[in-house]
Structure 1
Amino acid sequence: MKNILYLHAGAEMYGADKVLLELLKGLDKSQYNPIVVLPNDGVLVNALREEGITTEVIPYPILRRKFFNPKGILDYSSSYIKYSKEIIKLVANTKIDLIHVNTTAVLEGIYLKKQLKAPIVWHIHEILLKPKFMYHLLNFLIGKCSDTIVVVSEAVKAHVCQSKFVNPEKVKVIYNGINNQEFHPKNETEYLRNELHIPHDSVIVGMIGRVNAWKGQGDFLSAVEPILAKYDDVYALMVGGVFEGEEWRMEELKSKVAQSSNKERIIIQDFRKDTPNIHNLFDIFILPSTNPDPLPTVVLESMASGKPVISYNHGGAMEMVREDVNGLFSKAGVPSGITSNIELLLDDSKLREKMGRNSAERQATLFSLVSYVKNFQDLYDCF
């Protein structure tokens, strides 16, 4: 049996958190023993423990922008060494056969690789565009220290392989998979309409994503404002929380909504645990990310829920959505293109329903949970 140590950047339940949970739930426990160490407590900790998966919390530092200054560098360095040693103590009585590092923001695997004498599978979920020095530094570290680099899409592979520090032969694409039994068109929505005061004959356009610098809530608002002005029966819904210390982003977003003449039909919700139901509540799903989104889990969830997807034409979405089959693309950074595509689907309910059916079929065929778990187990068997 292989003992695999997993390190991740948080304990919430957004995209990378969810796919890690599904991987660990799906592993053949007679062959692989997962040991998870997370930097903070949260819903992911509880979800893993409920599955009987060994999960510990050690507050090791995660690479964030707040460390990009002289004091931050000192704080990060001292915490890095201190808590890396604590992880080693935690697994001192267990022979670790493999370290799975989930996301580029976790660098502790580098220290642990040397001390535990275990290979690293580095699982990259991000497309880091800036700051440039961080792109080069991370690719240097990942290229030098990882034994295999797993990326979530061809878009991420192309971005990583632009670096002279990464050997393309070490890079393997494994598409994320989700449980399409959890996300499907039969999920309950009645209570949501009542809770959010949305009439039953309304059409709902929505997005789910953390409120940060690039998930595109501002572009979403710009795109839906003309729609709300033209269609009285359309509601816009945004779901997602913020990183600790960035609460100002949510306040800024709420302030923008408050200034809208259609504010009564624009709803903002913090992070919720009932996202399968939220996805089914939507009639049209929007991915307005202003930076290329590597392989957004929310798109897979929306597809499994039988919804058409409208996205900017960059990132992993272009591998998930087929133009005019299960969704529509518009030029990146141009919200008016999203507006036009929303209007097209609002005016043609049959097209909307057809694309929704195609979404569900495409997700089940190409992005299944079974293939996702099998691909990782096959990779683990190479070590």
Structure 2
Amino acid sequence: MLVAHPSADVYGSDLQLLESVSAIVERGGQVRTVVPEDGPLVERLRERGATVDVVSFPVLRKSLLSPVGLLGLLLSLLRAFPRLLRACDPSQVDVVLVNTLTIPWWLLAARLRGVRTVCHVHEAEDEGNAVVLAALAAPNLLAGSIVVNSNASAAALTRRAGLLRRRIVVVHNGVPGPDTRPEPPRARRPGDPARLVVVARVSPRKGVDVALDATALLRQRGHDVTLDVCGSVFPGYEWFERELRARAAQTPLEGAVTLHGYVSPTWPVLAAADVVLVPSRVEPFGNTAVEALRARRPLVASGVQGLMEIVEDGETGLLAEPGDAEDLADAVERFLADPTWAAEVAEAGEAEARARFSVAAYRERIAAALGVASPATISC
């Protein structure tokens, strides 16, 4: 199996690829992975038994959606496409797995070479220019089958290309937990200081700005809360990080917000949290939400897309209106006001996440979806 992947980072879809590779390799498959740049994911893929090639090819980013950006993308694709065709050599590859919507040219290259294609969709693009959204969905018509990580992702695709409906299989992500079962939240009383944590890409889609605004509101209401933000910025969005740092330097946030950059592993940060926030505006699934649950910590997440498939509001966590800092602050305040109930919700969330989103269950489901439940040869 040949797997084409758009980055060498180690965020949600990148980490999920590692589990897909393990599912293939442990069933006797051979995996070759192609990424456009070197990075921390490369060594982790090799540790899982994949071979890895760094091959320059373009990746569709929102920052490229301008006349100049699209022209540059086209020129880059014309230069790279012969390499893609060579990589999809049917004498060496049985299946091409394209691990995102953002590199559809791999689907075209595989089809031109007559190789079976699978697209694993980790996106749920449901807002924005209708033409752009349709253009993102349409290339999936080239895929023989499509794996999506949530019902929200499936719905977003089929709204733009209804013909895809029969090709789609939903496989929720599998998220590994810490090495040992985490301790319950630390004992605290209403009014005690509280630490809020966000683990996410620093981008508008992840709502990090909403977390800062909610923290400011809580401090204005008299709560002694701090916020830790763990994550790095997408290239092209450095302006957003600058805005966050400027906001964090102002009253009432001065001294209360820390932007740590990329942090791995995240379990110590989650263990130190009193409440974990996942304030995304768009979230096809939400690995960080599952990690918060598996860390046995109270979770407040946006009531959007895949997060609504993870969190049962009031039972395993709390849901807040996406993009609404006041609603996010209100939800956090409910946990701060009743630490005993917050710990009970965290306990229920941990049990639910462990049962529904285990790595073992994911590997079984993804192997079946890829058609490698029995030993096979695969290159990624």
Is residue 2:28 matched to residue 1:31?
yes
d(CA) in 2 for partners of 1:164, 1:380? 22
Specify the alignment match of 1:213 in structure 2.
204
Q: Secondary structure at the match of 1:37?
A: strand
Specify the alignment match of 2:225 in structure 1.
234
Is residue 2:168 matched to residue 1:171?
yes
Specify the alignment match of 1:299 in structure 2.
289
Matches within 5 A, 1:75-94: 75-90=72-87, 92=89
Cα offset for 1:101?
0.9
Q: Could you report, residue by residue, the CA deviation over 1:137-159 in whole angstroms, capped at 9, with x for unpaired residues?
A: 121111x2011111111111122
> Which residues of structure 2 form unaligned runs of 5+?
187-191
2:177 aligned partner, one-letter code: N
Give the counterpart of 1:368 among 358, 361, 365.
358
1:270 aligned partner, one-letter code: G
Give the counterpart of 1:12 among 6, 9, 12.
9
TM-score by length of 1: 0.89
Cα offset for 1:331?
2.5
d(CA) in 1 for partners of 2:52, 2:355? 32
d(CA) in 2 for partners of 1:92, 1:239? 41
Is residue 2:312 matched to residue 1:314?
no
Specify the alignment match of 2:252 in structure 1.
261
Q: Could you report, residue by residue, the CA deviation over 1:99-151 in whole angstroms, capped at 9, with x for unpaired residues?
A: 11111111232232124311211111112122322111121111x20111111
> Which residues of structure 1 form unaligned runs of 5+?
190-200
Q: Secondary structure at the match of 1:285?
A: strand
d(CA) in 2 for partners of 1:116, 1:92? 7
d(CA) in 1 for partners of 2:25, 2:222? 50
1:342 aligned partner, one-letter code: V
Q: Secondary structure at the match of 2:68?
A: helix
Share of identical aligned residues, percent? 23
Specify the alignment match of 1:197 in structure 2.
none
Q: Which moved more, 1:92-101 or 1:253-262?
A: 92-101
Cα offset for 1:183?
7.9
d(CA) in 1 for partners of 2:106, 2:10? 22
Specify the alignment match of 1:332 in structure 2.
322
Specify the alignment match of 1:97 in structure 2.
94
Q: Could you report, residue by residue, the CA deviation over 1:61-101 in whole angstroms, capped at 9, with x for unpaired residues?
A: 00113432333333222322332322443565852111111
Distance 1:137 1:93, change over 3 A: closer
Is residue 2:200 matched to residue 1:203?
no
**Native 8 Å contact 1:184 1:276 kept in 2:** no
Cα offset for 1:343?
0.8
d(CA) in 2 for partners of 1:50, 1:123? 22
Q: Could you report, residue by residue, the CA deviation over 1:322-377 in whole angstroms, capped at 9, with x for unpaired residues?
A: 11111112233322111111111011111111111111111111111111111111
Distance 1:282 1:135, change over 3 A: same
Distance 1:253 1:286, change over 3 A: same
RMSD: 2.2
1:343 aligned partner, one-letter code: E
Specify the alignment match of 2:336 in structure 1.
346
1:229 aligned partner, one-letter code: Q
d(CA) in 2 for partners of 1:322, 1:281? 23
Give the counterpart of 2:110 among 99, 109, 113.
113
Cα offset for 1:184?
4.7
| Deviant stretches of 4+, over 6 Å | none
Give the counterpart of 2:368 among 350, 371, 378.
378
1:51 aligned partner, one-letter code: R
Cα offset for 1:30?
4.5
Specify the alignment match of 1:141 in structure 2.
139
Is residue 2:274 matched to residue 1:283?
yes
TM-score by length of 2: 0.90
**Native 8 Å contact 1:109 1:120 kept in 2:** no
Distance 1:183 1:309, change over 3 A: farther
Specify the alignment match of 2:45 in structure 1.
48
**Native 8 Å contact 2:275 2:300 kept in 1:** yes
**Native 8 Å contact 2:215 2:225 kept in 1:** no
Cα offset for 1:186?
5.2
d(CA) in 1 for partners of 2:364, 2:245? 43
Q: Which has the higher contact order (CA 8 A, sep 6+)?
A: 2
